[in-house]
Each structure stands twice: as structure tokens, then as C-alpha cells.
Amino acid sequence: MAELLKADLCIIGAGSAGLSIAAGSAQMGARTVLIEAHRMGGDCLNSGCVPSKSLLAAAKVAHVVRSSAKTGIAFQEPRIEFAQTRRYVHDVIQAIAPHDSVDRFKGLGCQVIEASARFVDRKTVAAGDFQVRARRFVIASGSRPYVPPIEGLENTPYFTNETIFENTVLPEHIIIIGAGPMGAEMAQAHRRLGARVTLLDAARLLPRDDPEAVEVLRQRLSSEGVEIIESVEIVRVALSGSEIDITINDNSRERTLRGSHLLVAAGRRPNVADLGLEAAGVKYDEKRINVDARLRTANKRIFAAGDVIGGQLLTHAAGYHASIVLKNALFRIPAKKSASDLPWVTYTDPELAQVGLTESSAKQLHGDSVRVLRADFAQNDRARAEGISDGFLKAVVSKRGSILGATIVGPHAGELLLPWTLAIAQGNKIGALAGLTVPYPTLSEITKRAAGSYFTPALFSPRIRRLVRFLGVFG
């Protein structure tokens, strides 16, 4: 007989969204049950953000060694101990893991059940030796890699983000299917560590991002030796001895690529199987659980958050969802989500960061009244001092100076995006950024330069010249 637990809030899934909700709920005094069948921390800690950025950091060290000669400091070609690099990645994971651990959440006051969860009716979940009845439930079960239906793939060994960080042998030639953020980051990391890399996509590199910014990254990847093949159809995959053959249709011409390893980075799908969502009255499809603006499902007692609701599959989006859920579920505040100020970053070198509208989407919505402001890193003294000349900041503003969006491609773009994100969230106009006093020399000056360019036509116009000359008459 299963033990019956009663709770104020029951959360299914201990990834980014679930952990944030559970921590907040328990610390605010709610009876909280957290259910996780696999690893605490979810995708972000174990097979996403943390390991990928750690691998990129290791790869950047190798790149700096190779490219240092221009400063007058030369090294020999770095010796890559790939197994040690893997250990470094996992050491980082282990250092962060206690923050997401079962012990920590028990200490916060959560009851943690390490088992699979399944709804048995609209207000009850079965998990292990327990049945949980709660005032509110949250489904935060995350997502898993999408494996496209490519002929022969089921009989061919391949990596996904869930397995690539377990690899201990540097690939001789890794072929990556999918040129989104994961594919682009892993392409650059493996190339810098010494692998030959081919990056394939049915569309284009980073299709959600500003094409001009993507072009800067494309040129960098190509210059480092990554072969990028876009608008290509993957016809079939086959194992050929110890190697992998991938037949592609490239510009109506079939040809075969041969590699030593294959990484599939073709997107994500929600984890909704075996949750008993039909019994709970929760509507969903293969891409998401359906929610309203308050993140409630068709069963208003049940919320959903994080990757499982689709959209932008980002750790900070999951954290944002957590705040919406807690306001609604615990305080009955009808908070609603908005994606207008949700930023995203691809952590390649150069980084590519975006908040709000891109130039093309702004012009589609607002027409020719949109103004595009721009500053190049080539004109930034700090960037020049560090040997950086490519990349730019581009902002789109309305005719009256409202900030609609910002794109940055260049060094530390993710860090430099913050003032633009804050300005959009607070509804500030471009003058708020143009009026900042920024320390010299910093990369942050690129924000002031771009924002200040909004006022340049008016400040240096013939009218202002006439005014200055007129006032000069009076001494």
C-alpha cells in the first residue's frame, strides 16, 4: 500500500525550473514535494550549460596558445590530453552538484522522492512508494535530444548532448548534425582541441539570430577550420568498419562524408511520455505541454515550466518561469509571462547575444520607422588592445527612441548585453544608455557609442551649428 503524502506544491522534475520552484516554495513555508527519477540538476548541470561551457573554456586555452605569437609571446603547439579535458569538465560538474543535491533540498524542507512520477487522476501523483495529493502541481520534466528519422541512424553509434561529455577520446573527424547553439559550440570546441569538424544543417547556422551577426561567427569558424555545410539534406547514415558514412544531398548533388564520430544536435523534445497526462486532464503535443500566460495547463491545478512547455529552451527562461509559477501557485497573484526582454547567448568565440527584436523582426513589425544604431569593436580601444577587430553591437529603436532590441557579436557579448536587457525590461529610452559615463578603456564603451549615435544627426546638424554661432555673438 502506497503511503499518502499531502502537500501544498508537488514538483515533477529537478532540473532548472523544478529546483528553483522547489527551493522557493520550501523556503517560503509551503509543504513541498520534489520528484526526480534520474539526476538532480537536470540537463543544465549534467549535459548542457555547465559541461559545454567547461569544454569551451578548455578549448579556448588551446586557441590562445596557438594564436599568441602576434603579441610576441610564442608557444609550441599545445598537447591535448583529451581524457584530462573530460576530467576537467566533470570536476566542474561535481563542484556545482552539491547546490542541486538531494541533501541540500531536504535541508531546505523539501521531501524528495527519487522515483518516476505518474498522474493517476487530476489531483494525485504516484511516485515510488508514495501517492502525492497536492493543492497545486508543477510539471518541470524538461526535454530530451530530438533524433531525426534519418535512414540508418538507428544502427549507427552517435552522440547527443547527453553522451558527448562522456567521450574520452578526441575524435579524428566529428560530424555534427544541427547548427544551432549546441552544434556551433561543440563544433568550435572540438576543432580547437584538434579534431577535424564538419557542421551540417538543413537550414543555416543559428537560424534564430541576426544574419549579419551570424556571418561574423561563420567566418571565424571557417577560418579555424570548421567545414560548414548549410541547406543540406541528410539522406542516410551508415557504419563503414570503424567509421561513419553520411550521405548528403547538397545542391541537388549526392555525396558522402566519412567521419570517425557523429554528434546529433538537431533540437529537443519535451519529456511527456509516461506521466499520465491524459488522466490529469493536461493537454500536450510532441513539442510542448500547452499552457496559458500564467503557465497553467488545461487542468488549472497543474502548472508546467521550463523546457517542457517549448519556446526558448534556456536555463534562465526556466528560472523566469519559476517566478511566475510561485506567484500564481502560492500567492494567487495572476502573474503572466512575457518574452520581450528574455535574452539568449551562444557561447562561441565570438559570442553572439540577443535581446528583444532583431533588425529584420523589428522592421517587419514597425516598418521603416525603425532606426538601426551600430558600433563596431574595431572602433573600441580595449578590443583593439586585446587584438580583437571583428564583431559589432547593433540596436534597433523606434522613431521616439524606445529600445526594441539589441544584437551583439564579439568578445563577452553575453556580459555586454545586460544594460540593454535592463533598459528593455524597464522601458528606458535610448537616452538612458547614451548618458552613461563608462570607464575607459572598456568593452562596455561600445554600448555608449551605439546609443550615442542616435543623437548624432541632431547634435551635428546645420541647425545646431547656426545656433552655436548665434550664441557666440553674445560672448
Element (H, E) at 239: strand 232-240
The pLDDT of residue 194 is 97
Q: Please list, residue by residue across 130-154, b when 16 or more beta carbons sit within 10 angstroms of its beta carbon and e when fewer do.
A: bbbebebbbbbbbbbbeeeebebbe
Specify whether the CB–CB gap between 416 and 444 falls below 8 A: yes
pLDDT in tens, 357-380: 999 999 999 998 999 999 999 999
pLDDT, position 2: 87
DSSP-H helix ranges across 193-267: 211-223
Phi, psi of 55, deg, nearest 5: -65, -40
Closest CA to 111 of 164, 219, 17, 36: 36
State the DSSP code for 306. Answer: G
List, as one string, the DSSP characters of 384-436: HHTT----EEEEEE-TT-BEEEEEEEETTHHHHTHHHHHHHHHT-BHHHHHT-
Pairing status of strand 117-121 against strand 124-127: antiparallel
pLDDT of residue 463: 87
Cα–Cα distance list, 288 to 11, 21, 140, 282, 322 (Å)? 17, 19, 11, 11, 17
- At residue 333, the pLDDT reads 96
Handedness of CA 112, 118, 124, 128 (dihedral sign): negative
Instruction: Delineate the domains of the chain, giving CATH numbers in brackets.
Output: 3-145+269-331 (3.50.50.60), 153-267 (3.50.50.60), 350-459 (3.30.390.30)
Give the C-alpha separation, 52 to 43, whole Å: 11
Q: How far apart are CA 235 and CA 419, in angstroms?
A: 45
Interior angle at CA 350, CA 90 and CA 59, nearest 5: 30
Could you tell me what percentage of the chain is helix, strand and coil, using 3-state DSSP and rounding each to the nearest 5? 40, 25, 35
**Torsion angle in degrees (nearest 10) through CA of 309, 162, 50, 225:** -110
For the chain, give me the number of helices (H) and strands (E)?
17, 21
> What distance in Å separates the CA atoms of residue 380 and residue 396, rounded to the nearest whole number?
20
Q: Is the dihedral of CA 438, 439, 440, 445 positive or negative?
A: negative
Residue 106: helix, strand or coil by DSSP? Answer: helix
C-alpha cell at 68: 599568441
Per-residue pLDDT 10s for the chain (475 aa) are 789 999 999 999 999 999 999 999 999 999 999 999 999 999 999 999 999 999 999 999 999 999 999 899 988 899 999 999 999 999 999 999 999 999 999 999 999 999 999 999 999 999 999 999 999 999 999 999 999 999 999 999 999 999 999 999 999 999 999 999 999 999 999 999 999 999 999 999 999 999 999 999 999 999 999 999 999 999 999 999 999 999 999 988 999 999 999 999 999 999 999 999 999 999 999 999 999 999 999 999 999 999 999 999 999 999 999 999 999 999 999 999 987 789 999 999 999 999 999 999 999 999 989 999 999 999 999 999 999 999 999 999 999 999 999 999 999 999 999 999 999 999 999 999 999 999 999 999 999 999 999 998 888 888 888 888 888 888 7
Is the dihedral angle over the CA atoms 364, 365, 369, 375 positive or is it negative?
negative
Closest CA to 61 of 444, 385, 349, 412: 349
- 246 with 234: CB under 8 angstroms? yes
Instruction: Give the amino acid at 255.
Output: R
Count other Cβ atoms within 10 Å, centred on residue 459.
9
Please report the pLDDT score of residue 460 as a whole number.
Answer: 85
What is the tens place of the pLDDT at every residue in 207-239? 999 999 999 999 999 999 999 999 999 999 999
E strands in 124-207: 124-127, 130-139, 143-145, 173-177, 196-200
Are 10 and 118 within 8 A, CB to CB? no
Quote the CA–CA distance of 118 and 256 in Å, as a whole number.
45
Long-range contacts of 245-251 (CB under 8 A, 24+ apart): 246/175, 246/177, 246/200, 248/200
